[in-house]
């Protein structure tokens, strides 16, 4: 209750200013929306479909023209019921009985999704002709035959590589654990708003976590394979970094969701603050933490396989080598091994998580 009233008083602005902001945002949305429609229509429907160009030239003038046209159309239609921006910002009076299903702005929205779908087909070069071409089908037959006749001669190195992958994922998870545990507290809003210093730390931690999390482990693996050399260590570091930021986020959300009741009750008994945390907070978070961590190990094993492809060691690296040599029977065996590991990890991690609920 306290929090709500605080945010309400913070969010208050003079009514006219707030309305003005909404109108401007609505117009910007319209402008960008029409610019997008113009640009996509020109590049895909005019240049590709009508003119039949394979790879049309691009110049930076095009988006500029598109924005200008977008501004013109957006302005022209802003006061009709075609304005998606006004609909999003809630500036239309909506007839409750009619709903919005048949409103012009809804239809315009459908149209945008439709042209995006068509443009997507062209951009991803979807081609049924190539999918069913004779040479293509022959190739598919060759690779599938090889995959279903795996070469069991390399089963020994494959198993060792798989073990390397599982252990690499395990070590990455374990090393990430204490860091994530600590950052989890720093990133929990309910514990960090007490003083400006804590709030600064909270924001700093959030910023760091968001940055590391938004860079894919694949990219970290490439960076670390240059740094410490190709091999499991690089892969482990990449997974570790990503695990820290992901786990810390999950942990902090868990701390934000605990019930205040036990904390209040422990405080009321006259317990020391450390006892309050140990008896009031920890029992509420320990099982979700365990569950998240096991799930993370499961994810790390899968990711370790992919990371191996860029030189992170383990079974992924082995897969990349045989694929490069076009030895499809060996690739087949590795694919089966990977499928088995992933299935076993998935199954056992979900069973463990179920049993500790």
Partner 1 sequence: MTQKILEVEKLNKVYPNGTHALKGVSFDVNKGEFLVVIGLSGSGKSTLLRCINRLHEPTTGKIHFEGNDITSIKGKPLRSLRSRIGMIFQHFNLIPRKTVLTNVLTGTLSRNGVIKSIFGIFPEEDKKKAMDLIELVGLSGKENRRADNLSGGQQQRVAIARALMQNPSILLADEPVASLDPATSHSVMQYLKKVNEELGVTILCNLHFLSLVRQYATRVIALKDGNLIYEGSPSEIDENWFQTIYGEDAVEVTID
Are 9 and 18 within 8 A, CB to CB?
no
* Angle 93-99-102 from CA coordinates, rounded to 5°: 100
Helices (runs of H) and strands (runs of E) counted in the chain: 17, 0
**Tokens encoding 174:** 């374990």
CB of 101 to partner 1, least distance (A): 41
Q: Please, which residue, 267 or 323, has the CB nearer to partner 1?
A: 267
Q: Please, which residue, 267 or 329, has the CB nearer to partner 1?
A: 267
DSSP letters spanning 99-115:
-STTSHHHHHHHHHHHH
**Tokens encoding 273:** 């603050």
Tell me, rounded to whole angstroms, the distance of Cα 210 from its chain centroid.
11
Q: Please, which residue, 4 or 124, has the CB nearer to partner 1?
A: 4
CB of 197 to partner 1, least distance (A): 19
Q: Please, which residue, 172 or 276, has the CB nearer to partner 1?
A: 276
CB of 21 to partner 1, least distance (A): 25
CB of 186 to partner 1, least distance (A): 22
CB of 202 to partner 1, least distance (A): 19
Backbone dihedral region for residue 93 (phi beyond 0: left; psi -120 to 50: alpha; all else: beta)? beta
Please report, as ranges, the residues that interact with partner 1 according to CB under 8 A: 2, 5-6, 9, 261-262, 264-272, 274-275, 278-280, 283-284, 287
How far is Cα 110 from Cα 350, in angstroms, rounded to an integer? 40
CB of 109 to partner 1, least distance (A): 40
CB of 189 to partner 1, least distance (A): 17
Q: Please, which residue, 112 or 267, has the CB nearer to partner 1?
A: 267
Q: Please, which residue, 92 or 279, has the CB nearer to partner 1?
A: 279
Residue 171: other Cβ atoms inside 10 A: 16
- Using CB atoms within 10 A of its CB, is residue 220 exposed (0-12), middle (13-18) or buried (19+)? buried
Q: Please, which residue, 204 or 287, has the CB nearer to partner 1?
A: 287
Closest CA to 115 of 53, 43, 28: 43
CB of 246 to partner 1, least distance (A): 25
**Tokens encoding 234:** 């690089």
Contacts of 85 (CB under 8 A, 6+ apart): 25, 26, 27, 28, 29, 30, 33, 74, 78
How far is Cα 220 from Cα 140, in angstroms, rounded to an integer? 33
Q: Please, which residue, 14 or 270, has the CB nearer to partner 1?
A: 270
Which helix H or strand E contains 4, and what residues bound it?
helix 2-10
**Tokens encoding 210:** 């968001």
């Amino acid at each position: 209750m306290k929090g709500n009233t605080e945010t309400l008083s913070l969010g208050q602005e003079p009514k006219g200013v707030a309305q003005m902001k909404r109108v401007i945002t609505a117009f910007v949305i319209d402008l960008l929306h029409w610019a997008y429609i113009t640009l996509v229509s020109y590049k895909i429907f005019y240049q590709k479909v009508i003119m039949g160009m394979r790879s049309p030239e691009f110049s930076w003038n095009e988006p500029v023209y598109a924005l200008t046209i977008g501004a013109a159309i957006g302005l022209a239609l802003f006061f009709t019921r075609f304005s998606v921006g006004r609909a999003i910002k809630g500036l239309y009076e909506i007839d409750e009985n009619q709903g919005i299903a048949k409103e012009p702005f809804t239809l315009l929205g459908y149209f945008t999704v439709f042209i995006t779908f068509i443009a997507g087909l062209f951009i991803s070069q979807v081609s049924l002709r190539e999918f069913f071409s004779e040479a293509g089908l022959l190739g598919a037959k060759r690779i599938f035959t090889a995959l279903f006749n795996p070469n069991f001669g390399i089963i020994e190195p494959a198993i060792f590589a798989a073990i390397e992958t599982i252990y690499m994922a395990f070590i990455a998870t374990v090393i990430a654990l204490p860091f994530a545990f600590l950052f989890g507290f720093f990133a929990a809003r309910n514990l960090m708003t007490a003083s400006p210093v804590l709030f600064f730390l909270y924001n700093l931690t959030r910023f760091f976590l968001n940055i590391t999390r938004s860079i894919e482990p694949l990219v970290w693996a490439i960076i670390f394979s240059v740094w410490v050399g190709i091999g499991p260590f690089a892969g482990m570091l990449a997974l570790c970094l990503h695990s820290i930021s992901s786990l810390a986020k999950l942990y902090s959300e868990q701390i934000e969701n605990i019930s205040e009741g036990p904390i209040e009750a422990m405080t009321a008994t006259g317990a020391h603050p450390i006892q309050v945390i140990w008896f009031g907070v920890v029992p509420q978070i320990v099982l979700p933490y365990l569950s998240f961590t096991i799930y993370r190990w499961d994810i790390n094993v899968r990711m370790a396989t992919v990371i191996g492809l860029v030189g992170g060691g383990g079974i992924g690296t082995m897969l990349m080598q045989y694929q490069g040599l076009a030895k499809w029977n060996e690739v087949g065996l590795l694919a089966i091994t990977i499928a088995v590991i992933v299935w076993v990890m998935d199954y056992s991690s979900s069973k463990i998580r179920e049993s500790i609920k």
